[in-house]
Amino acid sequence: MRKPFYLSLLLLCAALIFYSCSKSSMKQPVHEDKPFLQDYSIKYYSDTTKLNLLAAYSDRNGVIQILSKEGLQHPHDGQFLYHGSIEADNSYRFMKSKKISATGVYDKQLVYLSDSVVFSNAWAGTLFSKHTLPGAKLFAGGKDFTFLVSDGKLLQLIKDSKNLYSGALPDDETISIRYQENTGDFWILGKKTLYVLSSGNVLTKAFDGANFTSFDVVSNGKKIVIGTTDGFIEFDPVAKKQVGTINKKLPATNITFVQEVNRKVWFGSDQGAFALRADNKFDYYYGERWLPGNKVIHISEGPENSVLVLTTAGLGQIAFKEMTLQDKAVYYEEQVRLRHIRNGFNASLDGMEKGNLSTGYMSDSDNDGLWTTMYLGGEIFRYAATKDSVALQNCRESLDAIERLYTVNPVPGFPARSFERSGHKESLSDSDRWQPSPEKEWTWKSTTSSDEIIGHVFAFGAIAELIDDEPMKKKAIMLLDTVMSHIVKNDMYLVDFDGKPTMWGKWNPKYVNSFPTNVGDRKLNSSNIVSMLQTAYHFTKKEKYKAKAFELMNKYGYYENMMRPMSEIGKAPANADEHAKHMSDGWNHSDDEMYFIGYWGLYRYPFNDTLKTAYKKQILDHWQVERPEKEGAWNIFTALTGTDEFDLKEAVWYLQEYPLDMINWSIKNSHRKDIDLIEPNFRKQTTKEVLPPDERPVKRHNSNTFDLDRDGVGGTSEESAGDIWLLPYWMGRYLGVISAPAK
């Protein structure tokens, strides 16, 4: 019996209301791209055989002056990524004759301590206040040009060459002096005691301790922070007592200097510098990404809200610049185009000498095709989001490079890993893999991997869908059909010049299902090949691709392989073959990269809505196990499913925290006391919480974000931002989860 018309209409309206409510409740969050503070470093190296550095200060004009045992110095010719040096400061000739033992800043002007006087070249030279401590080496300025001076034993308070107070720490040696502006008190730190000289010139012991090294009065006089050789102590200057216990959960506990700069407490140590954040965690500046050396001598406020960190090897100026994510993208786009485009490929800059960009060369790579298609993907999304003609030209040039991978070798439908000019085989990576090209000027690299193929198909599909340039669109579809026809024709193998499948280009059921069900490659290869066949069918409408995909899913269990939860993936059982054991000795982050790149075609071009729903479940299941990594790309790729939960905040954190300096400096974090190490595990996660990108080694998305150290590289290469940063950013822009810069 047919339902009455009005009842059908009522049910339809109810369904539409339910669908509308469901859609509104699934609205994705959007990051509004407002300016944030981006930190970077300008480094000035010193000649450690000639100079012994002591302190560095900057005045209101931005002049930076460095005191050494050999006299006054200043930084020379440094800028971001281009290192400067420290040279003798001859700007004021008559300073050479002064026996300067300490420098400082008073009312934002440089002041000097000599064996007989406190003086300055500011105020028309009128500050010239004599003292009677020939061995004076410490001083601090108070109200109305009063200065407390010490030689380590005696104390002398002077003003206009008049001695207002003389005294000494009765049981200690003075190592530092600070002035508390809101009370008019001078605080004096000894090696084991803290004293205060009140505004009435009364010296009083405030605190006993041990192994003191440095201190500062912070938070507008509400707190004193004392560094020691094993952590730091907080002291209440009003209550005259220690606050809590000594703080040892630090990046490094041997504190060499303490200084408040721009309302943040900074610590120098024998292993870099770190600043205390509002959340009681630390921003850690270690290694030559930030500092010329790791043993910190002195910290002070620098020009334009920067921080000067003086080390035994030179000066690091930590600068802070307001940027939006798009500003950062503009910088990275320039980095790629200036130093990382080789024959159209997205390449690394290798062979550098200690971070000197001018000494590097653009190197070949096993994954030239993959890194290039990931960069190409970012430029496709950039063009789709902005219609920028420069982005379109970048796409065109990268696509030309990918196309040539198919024509530079004689195997129909087979893409080379890379190509390069002939005659230089021994200088290329994996020299035994290079083959002569029919084009005599060129050679090509064989043994192409599944990594490259999934990258190619991802880029071809994105171009075909999102680029409105017809010749490019047709070329992408032609190449997509070319490579997928090769794979289908060769029984789901990628067949090389020798007529044999490459080591990793295998999607045939005999290979895929030879792995135990809990070994990741069984799930990965199933997911990737279905994604690739879907993409090929979507744009060519050739039934062979659709038929093969359903055959693999239904007859050979690929659908079951794909939908197997990530929680079941682990090490191969004891009775598995050696290949399976080798492939499952730990979590493979290259697999993550291949999965997520493949998810674009898997979710974007499904054969039907039932599969699309299942694919979403598969992607979200994978994303759940990736969440601790806070990986920017994987969070943004997850957003393509339309889910309202994809850790947008963590994705933005990744994008904002990634260092502008992408040179592979040596990095060390394993010594830190402020991180919680966990037991060795299958995922190779080392810490409870992942470190910010600017504190860990620069790595591509196929690497473990929980790696703590990188030893021995010393600035020999620079990575490209093309795949590392620009892909997730521009994908986020295209998907609408990251806004254009807020006005």
- Backbone dihedral angles phi then psi of residue 195, each to the nearest 5 degrees: -115, 160
Residue 308 lies in a domain: no
pLDDT at 16: 45
DSSP string, 634-669: HHHHHHTTT-S-S-HHHHHHHHHHS-S--B---B--
Helix intervals (H) in 490-608: 509-512, 520-540, 543-550, 558-563, 578-583, 589-604
| CATH code at position 559 | 1.50.10
Rounded percentage of the chain residues whose pLDDT exceeds 90: 95
Query: Could you tell me which residues are beta bridge partners of residue 105?
Result: 110
Three-state DSSP at 626 gives: helix
* 83 assigned to some structural domain: no
> Which residue in this structure is represented by tokens 């104390």?
155
687 within some domain: yes
Q: Classify residue 127 as left (phi > 0), alpha (psi -120 to 50) or beta.
A: beta
What pLDDT digit, counting tens, does each position of 145-177 carry?
999 999 999 999 999 999 999 999 999 999 999
Q: Residue 417's closest CA among 440, 442, 451?
A: 451
Contact predicate 303/64, CB 8 Å: yes
Alpha carbon distance 457, 461 (integer Å): 6
Q: Report residue 335 as tokens.
A: 């980095």
CA terminus-to-terminus distance, the chain = 60
Residue with tokens 């406190």: 118
Helices (H), 660-705: none
What is the SS3 assignment for 282? strand
Q: 3-state DSSP call for residue 576?
A: coil
Nearest to 486 by CA among 527, 458, 456, 515: 456
Task: Give the integer Cα–Cα distance in Å for 211 and 227.
Answer: 9
Integer Cα distance of 215 and 268 in angstroms: 11
User: What is the rounded average pLDDT of the residues 631-657?
Assistant: 98
Tell me, yes or no, whether 728 lies in a domain: yes
pLDDT at 654 over 50: yes
Is 25 a residue whose pLDDT tops 70? no
Burial of 100 (0-12, 13-18, 19+ CB in 10 A): middle
Query: 403 vs 344, 406, 449, CA distance in Å?
Result: 10, 6, 16
Instruction: Give the mean model confidence (pLDDT) for residues 333-351.
Output: 98
Angle between helices 368-386 and 389-407 (to 10 degrees): 150
Residues across the chain: 743
Contact between 549 and 534 under an 8 Å Cβ cutoff? The reply is yes
**Mean pLDDT (whole number) for 233-243:** 97
Q: What is the mean pLDDT of the chain?
A: 95
Question: What ranges in 108-173 are assigned the alpha helix state H?
Answer: none
Instruction: Answer for the pair 676, 687: CB distance below 8 angstroms, yes or no.
Output: yes
- Cβ-contact 600, 640 below 8 angstroms: yes
Tell me: pLDDT of 76 over 80.
yes
Token pair of 9 as six digits: 């209409």
Question: Is residue 5 pLDDT above 60, yes or no?
Answer: no
**Does residue 429 form part of some domain?**
yes
Summary count for the chain: helices (H), strands (E): 17, 39
What is the rounded average pLDDT of the residues 96-106? 96
User: pLDDT of 690-718, one tens digit each?
Assistant: 999 999 999 999 999 999 999 988 899 99
Contact indicator for 374, 346 with CB cutoff of 8 Å: yes
Residues 6+ apart with CB under 8 A from 688: 675, 676, 677, 678
The rounded distance, in Å, linking the Cα atoms of 196 and 180 is 10
Q: Is residue 310 part of a domain?
A: no
Nearest to 718 by CA among 704, 702, 697: 697
Q: Name the residue among 132, 209, 142, 211 with its Cα closest to residue 177.
A: 142
- pLDDT over 80 (residue 244): yes
* CA angle, residues 296, 300, 302, in degrees to nearest 5: 120
User: For the residues 529-553, what does the mean pLDDT come to?
Assistant: 98
pLDDT for 26 equals 64
Q: Does residue 218 sit within a domain? A: no
The two tokens of residue 640 are 């393509």
Q: What is the pLDDT of residues 39-70, one digit of tens each?
A: 999 999 999 999 999 999 999 999 999 999 99
Per the listing, tokens 């010049």 go with: 497
Query: How would residue 742 be classed by pLDDT, with cut points 50, 70 and 90?
Result: confident
Please, are residues 450 and 528 in contact by the beta-carbon 8 Å criterion? yes
The answer for residues whose C-beta is within 8 angstroms of residue 401's C-beta and 6 or more apart is: 343, 344, 345, 372
Q: What pLDDT score does 636 carry? A: 98
Range scoring the smallest mean pLDDT among 9-18, 82-91, 177-186: 9-18
Q: What is the pLDDT of residue 609?
A: 98
Residue 648 is predicted with a pLDDT of 98
d(CA 526, CA 548): 12
Q: What is the predicted pLDDT for the residue at 713?
A: 81
The pLDDT tens digits for 581-610 are 999 999 999 999 999 999 999 999 999 999
Q: What is the mean pLDDT of residues 550-576?
A: 97
- Burial pattern 353-381, b for ≥16 Cβ within 10 A else e, equals eebeeeebebbbbbbbbbbbbbbbbbbbb
Q: How many domains does the chain have?
A: 1
Local confidence band at 743 (pLDDT 50, 70, 90 cut-offs):
confident
Q: How many whole angstroms from its chain centre is CA 533?
A: 35
Q: With the CA atoms of 294, 295, 297 and 299 taken in that order, what torsion angle do they form, in degrees rounded to the nearest 10? A: 30
How, if at all, do strands 84-88 and 231-236 pair?
unpaired
**Which residue range is the domain that position 539 belongs to?**
325-735
Q: What is the mean pLDDT of residues 527-539?
A: 98
Domain membership flag for residue 189:
no
Under 8 Å between Cβ of 138 and 149 = yes
Please enumerate in sequence order all residues whose Cβ is within 8 A of that of 84, keeping only pairs 6 or more positions apart, or say none. Answer: 42, 43, 44, 45, 75, 76, 77, 78
